[in-house]
Structure 1
């Protein structure tokens, strides 16, 4: 039996507290600080989390955790970290953070091989070719397990395309941060909001990482998924006895941007299995297979990155099945690279008004900011200490409270039920009552969005 075990319970704080209360997203920053005292392993809900031997003693590793419930005042929220790492930026916008400018568009070279507009690949390639960095760290298919992914070093601009598609699968910085520590060169690193926050915390406390990591590419995130998500989709697509090479965002250029597919290779027959995500239903609004920590996150736009990239979920752009990005530049280098791409013709990118950018992520803002205070109150009543937040002051209607309650239950039940059945048909049957309840409650909540004059005519109250 391995001597590695889950972290011991603690009632006050630390890495153990974060893991015990399911607030860990698996970034692995604490492992990089522990110098061998911690390793990453799979928990029973399909997430990567820190683990330790029974004699491990914590030594402040929680300081670099993005969900540390007791941060120091100097790094209390993203706002304090932005003052340190984006001090030269004089422009800011509510809910977006500090910035240089906002854009929308795509890379002419990398669009078709990417999940959206190919801008993450464009930045990775441009940083390497331009000599800004010596290596880029991004998510690649695992060399050891063909149904898994990992952060990997890329020093060859020609190979950045291998990391060009979105992977809705748990990954960790744990191993790659150790390599960065010993690397003789400058590095750019990609990540979602909480992962980039962990990088900034590492840089705050350890000058080695401030020196080595010189550029961060932020991916706007709708919620981190358990490994169960891919297992469910593979089974739903017809691969019942194991699968390889999962792809989560296979485009249909002749359709719309949100009409994409999941595909994998059946491990036994080697047949290609594929399923349209539209036929599966809403995997994000329902909260299926999502990490609990995502319910206490208020960084919608990956505010601490040098550039933030997301899908252009706007009517004028999402009808384009080839995909487009919304872009927030947050450093001079990032903005210069966008402007150079426009000048050279390698980018089809144009300025995007701030209000349009906000509309492109409206669903995420609505859930994560508007419902945050209520979700935190539920967790706090359960005895869970959560990190300080900036958008925890909004009151919501009783209808939206019902939606929030049901969504939180749906999230937790999806992980529990899949662990029990491991079969898509059985899973859907067991989840159907909750899913239908959430749909009905969401429709009732939408009454709140009607103009007040229409609600009055219908005799409806908030």
Structure 2
């Protein structure tokens, strides 16, 4: 079965869509040693030939008719503009919710959109990530009074698997939030089961820099000074009087109830290095959650990044998304500026560089190693210069070692000491690549 191969090759992102395809009560999501959720499918004799992976965002069998470009044309029929990197869209914004920014990790747009969807009766329920017994997972919300519970960023593995167990028993429509791979799995389910198009009329896409292992949270907790069990991890404690990048991680020690925190800037680059990241993310070419009705990310561009209270970039892709935003602006519930396509791309430049410009190298390397990978869109498979390839190689090694070393010894000092050489080399080769890239542009050389 190809789902087994997907799991064995480290390409399972834990979305859980395949669990509902197996029709077995014994199929489930389980934790692997790297700290990610992965599918454990139980097959019956007459089910082994079924294509469980057809709803998998990293399916090894789906052809280009089920890639992001084709699915976008099927679902985003009211989009009027298109771009090869961010997909179909209508309008581009940056800004925040006047009501929810203070209690949100960024600009509060996701919480605002969910409130309006419920209040205006576009949906009856929300299926979003929330705290569950001190950890995190997807949960059904049906009341506006509970909306504050969903207004925080969580870098913790979760799964959609329970959604398709309960969706037939829930009256009314459901809106769902998710990162690009989760959104794609929902669109694939809707493609093969058209009744779900009406049942799930709105998807909020969260622009993602990569899925993190649950070990990442343990690393942050120990970095904050908490060496025992902890609860209520907060990944984006903002400093409103500073800049957007100046935020903290915090948690509470379970036994003593002591509060711990650490400045994230003191830990270095947690995203560009690939620390604790899923291997599957290296084979994702969807930077901007292209299949969602609305895509939301952090506004890492001037002047918004200089505002510690937080701002979002917003890509509206459906007519309903546009209506919600325009009504919010008219009611002064949203403070949004129209921005250019170039600014949207600049805000996520690091992710575009890694996912698109490094994709050819990673795909080619995987194939040479005999690893079967999903079909990728050809326009992103472009050979780059040798220094870019070196960055991809060292970043891949850094990602792998972060997971290996944490499993080997979960002590913080051991981990930091062992990771230093990898991070040092990655920093130097990345800096060299930036210098050479600028030089190539100046002299007009393309390698």
TM-score tier (shorter): over 0.9
What is the aligned counterpart of 2:12 among 24, 34, 38? 24
Task: Give the superposition deviation at 1:451.
Answer: 3.7
Q: Distance in 1 between matches of 2:446 and 2:427?
A: 20
CA shift, 1:250, in A, is 0.7
- In the superposition, relative to structure 1, how do residues 461 and 212 fare at CA in structure 2: closer, same or farther (>3 Å)? closer
* Equivalent-residue separation in structure 2 for 1:183 and 1:32 (angstroms): 16
Structure 1 residues 454, 80: closer, same or farther in 2, change over 3 A? Answer: closer
Q: Hey, what does 1:109 align to over in structure 2?
A: 99
Confirm whether residue 287 of structure 1 aligns to residue 278 of structure 2: no
Alpha-carbon shift at residue 461 of structure 1 (Å)? 9.8
Which of 30, 45, 54 aligns to 2:34? It is 45
Determine if the alignment matches structure 1 residue 64 to structure 2 residue 55.
yes
Distance 2:180 2:172 in 1: 24
Shift of 1:90: 2.9
Structure 2 equivalent of residue 422 of structure 1: 410
Deviations 1:2-25 (A, max 9, x none): xxxxxxxx5xxx211110100011
Secondary structure of 1:104's counterpart equals strand
Residue pairs, 1:337-352, within 5 angstroms: 337-352=324-339
What CA distance in whole angstroms lies between the structure 2 residues aligned with 1:317 and 1:21?
A: 39
The answer to whether structure 1 residue 405 and structure 2 residue 396 are counterparts is no
- Corresponding residue SS for 2:167: helix
TM-superposition CA deviations, 1:350-407 (whole Å, max 9, x none)? 2111111111111111111011011111111111111111243212111111110000
Match of 2:381 in 1: 393
Counterpart of 2:124 in structure 1 is: 134
Q: Secondary structure at the match of 1:315?
A: coil
Within 2, Cα distance between the matches of 1:215 and 1:452? 43
Q: Which residue of 2 aligns with 1:263?
A: 250
- Taking the TM superposition and a 5 Å limit, the aligned residue runs for 1:6-17 are 14-17=2-5
Question: In structure 2, what is the Cα distance between the partners aligned to 1:265 and 1:225?
Answer: 21
Tell whether the 8 Å contact from 1:115 to 1:323 is kept in structure 2 after alignment.
Answer: yes
Secondary structure at 2:245 match in 1? coil
Give the match for residue 322 of structure 1: 309
Structure 1: gaps spanning 5 or more residues: 1-9
Moved more, 391-400 or 286-295: 391-400
How far apart in 2 are the matches of 1:126 and 1:401?
Answer: 45
> Displacement, 1:209?
2.0
Deviation string for 1:130-178 (max 9, x for gaps)?
Answer: 00000011100013xx1x2010111111212211111000000001221
Q: Distance in 1 between matches of 2:149 and 2:383?
A: 44
Instruction: Confirm whether residue 89 of structure 1 aligns to residue 79 of structure 2.
Output: yes
- State whether residues 203 and 210 of structure 1, in contact with CA within 8 Å, keep that contact through their aligned partners in structure 2: yes
List gaps (5 residues or longer) in structure 2.
Answer: none
- Could you state the TM-score of these two structures normalised by the residue count of structure 1? 0.93
* Maintained 8 Å contact 2:53/2:60: no
Give the 5 Å matches for 1:198-347. Answer: 198-347=185-334
In 2, Cα distance between the equivalents of 1:455 and 1:351? 34
For 1:365 and 1:53, the matched residues in 2 are separated by: 37
Q: CA separation in 2, counterparts of 1:206 and 1:46?
A: 31
Identify the residue that residue 109 of structure 2 maps to in structure 1.
Answer: 119
Mapping of 1:173-188 within 5 angstroms? 173-188=160-175
The Cα of 1:268 is off from its aligned counterpart by 2.6
Matched residue count: 443
CA distance in 1, matches of 2:44, 2:143: 42
Distance 1:417 1:452, change over 3 A: closer
User: Does structure 1 retain, via aligned residues, the 8 Å contact 2:205–2:294?
Assistant: yes
SS of residue paired to 1:387: coil
How far does residue 207 in structure 1 lie from its aligned partner after superposition?
A: 2.7
Cα 1:50–1:129 change in 2 (3 A) is same
1:206/1:311 CA distance change after superposition, 3 Å: same
53-62 or 78-87, which moves further after superposition? 53-62
Could you tell me whether the CA contact under 8 Å between 1:23 and 1:67 is conserved in 2? yes
Q: Match of 2:65?
A: 74
Q: CA–CA distance in 2 between the matches of 1:285 and 1:212?
A: 37
The 1:174/1:452 distance shift into structure 2, 3 A limit, reads closer
Task: Provide the rounded CA distance (Å) in 2 between the counterparts of 1:221 and 1:202.
Answer: 21
**Is 1:447 aligned with 2:435?**
yes
Q: Which runs of 4+ in 1 moved over 3 A?
A: 52-58, 451-456
**Native 8 Å contact 1:31 1:37 kept in 2:** no
Partner SS, residue 153 of structure 1: strand
The Cα RMSD (Å) is 1.7
CA distance in 2, matches of 1:323, 1:39: 37
Return 234-243 or 333-342, whichever deviates more. Answer: 234-243
Compute the TM-score of the two structures, normalised by the length of structure 2: 0.96
Q: 1:54 to 1:136 in 2, by over 3 A?
A: closer
1:360 to 347, 350, 368: 347
